Amino acid sequence: MTNKENRPITEILTKSFPQKDIHGSISMPVYITAAFEFETAEEMEDAFLGKNGKHTYTRISNPTVEAFEARVQAISGAKHVMAVASGMAAISGVFMTVASAGSNIVTSPHLFGNTFSLFLFTLKEFGVEARFCNLLDIKEVEKQIDENTCAVFTEIITNPHMEVVDLAALAEVSHKKGVPLIADSTIVPWTSFKAPDFGVDLEIISSTKYISGGATSIGGLILDYQTFDWTQSKRLKSLAEKVGKRAFQVKFRAEIGRNMGAAMAPQTAFLQNLGLETMDLRFRQAAKTCLELALFLKELPEIKQVNYNGLPSDPFYERGKKQFGDYPGAMLTFSLENRAACFAFINRLKIIRRATNLFDNKSLIIHPESTIYGTLSPEHKKIVEVPDHLLRLSVGLENIEDLKADILQAL
């Protein structure tokens, strides 16, 4: 197969599971069990000390989850992959591992709603400060980083603001200051976005989105490229002196992951492993439809503005091409006259569904200001800057003509 577009699929389908199934099952067997038993006390001791690679308890590891992680690792090129219960479990788990009381995170206020809330409320109560700044301004980022900064954190395309940071520049300034760059890349899968090419040290993905294969389950992934020298980290320094670049992996696996207890369920690993097999096909189709819809929406007089990185008129178009190629996600935002016009439009839709979530096979619409950011105080709403005339559309796999007709009749 020399067709470049089909390479990622072949790559996924031909990566088999780490251990051959005893029955030769071509699908991944699902081990729905809490515990694993041993022949002898000695074997049990070795398992608990991590000496024989055997599973003990599903909160700590499970063969189905492990096979999913191994497949993600093989096709993403990460050095180590950790699958957890949700995208938020991945984000909170990462900061439970790298931050400590007195440290700060340099980030943007333009974040996924729960990530913003984690930084603004939850971590604050543990003495971790979020320094919200403009990540598009590298000089400002440099000024915000100090000796207590544990990480620079960004989303690769902010949602719903649709900004695209210059990741290589952000990585350069972070690394110069001895700080890792951590990125949430949920919006563009790794078949179109190669995080390590832009200096990202830890990549976080909500596998609920593209990977789950049509909103089948909640899950999260931490991809560790082991590019960062953790001896520069206050929290991980002493461990890094012993285990080198594996410090994050060891801290998460041996302590944080099992203590927080947000393990991925084996049933989820099965579904998401299956989702992986069609991810790139679904993604490319949805992204193509998304671009066509963005061009279509731009021409409609009722629509004030359309934001999509794949539009040549987008302020981040060139940077997006460099970072994501031709497929900068399958989500766009657009503005109508006001909040009332948005609500009326949503209420008239017949094909596009009224739901939160991204990258279902079905197209989904939401009014972010009244929902995702709805419970924020006026003061916090000002920080996140989500206007009330904005709608977010996640594009699915429906026929494009049907989607266009639905939009036209609802306007």
Ligand X SMILES: *Cc1c(COP(=O)(O)O)cnc(C)c1O
Place of tokens 């190629």: 325
236 and 242 Cβ atoms separated by less than 8 Å: no
List C-alpha distances in Å: 313 to 52, 164, 166, 385: 56, 14, 18, 22
Please state the closest distance from residue 67 (CB atom) to ligand X, in A. Answer: 20
Please state the closest distance from residue 187 (CB atom) to ligand X, in A. Answer: 6
Cα–Cα distance between 292 and 294 in angstroms, integer?
Answer: 5
Contacting ligand X (CB under 6 A), which of 269, 306, 358, 391?
A: 358
Q: CB-wise, 9 or 89, nearer to ligand X?
A: 89
Instruction: Assess 64 for contact with ligand X (CB under 6 A).
Output: no
Residues 42-61 touching ligand X, rule: CB under 6 A, are: none
Q: CB-wise, 284 or 392, nearer to ligand X?
A: 392
Please state the closest distance from residue 186 (CB atom) to ligand X, in A. Answer: 4
- Pick the stretch among 58-66, 73-81, 85-93, 312-320 that binds ligand X (CB under 6 A): 85-93
Instruction: Assess 363 for contact with ligand X (CB under 6 A).
Output: no
Place of tokens 């009244």: 370
Q: CB-wise, 161 or 245, nearer to ligand X?
A: 161
- Bridge-partner residues for 366, per DSSP? 392
Cα–Cα distance between 337 and 240 in angstroms, integer?
Answer: 54
Instruction: Assess 217 for contact with ligand X (CB under 6 A).
Output: no
List C-alpha distances in Å: 332 to 40, 274, 305, 308, 362: 57, 27, 11, 5, 15
Look at residues 83, 78, 136, 74 and name the one whose alpha carbon lies nearest to residue 107: 136
The contact mask relative to ligand X for 218-257 (x = CB under 6 A, - = no) is: x-x-------------------------------------
Q: CB-wise, 17 or 112, nearer to ligand X?
A: 112
The contact mask relative to ligand X for 154-193 (x = CB under 6 A, - = no) is: -x---x------------------------x-xx------
Instruction: Assess 206 for contact with ligand X (CB under 6 A).
Output: yes
Cα–Cα distance between 282 and 215 in angstroms, integer?
Answer: 13
Instruction: Assess 309 for contact with ligand X (CB under 6 A).
Output: no
Task: Please list, in sequence order, all residues whose beta carbon lies within 8 angstroms of the beta carbon of residue 300, skipping any fewer than 6 positions away.
Answer: 407, 411
DSSP symbol at 199:
T
Cα–Cα distance between 368 and 370 in angstroms, integer?
Answer: 6
Number of amino acids touching ligand X (CB under 6 A):
16
Cα–Cα distance between 96 and 99 in angstroms, integer?
Answer: 6
Instruction: Assess 87 for contact with ligand X (CB under 6 A).
Output: yes
Please state the closest distance from residue 219 (CB atom) to ligand X, in A. Answer: 6
Contacting ligand X (CB under 6 A), which of 64, 73, 191, 208?
A: 208
Cα–Cα distance between 104 and 89 in angstroms, integer?
Answer: 19
Sites of contact with ligand X (CB under 6 A)? 86-88, 112, 115, 155, 159, 184, 186-187, 206, 208-209, 218, 220, 358
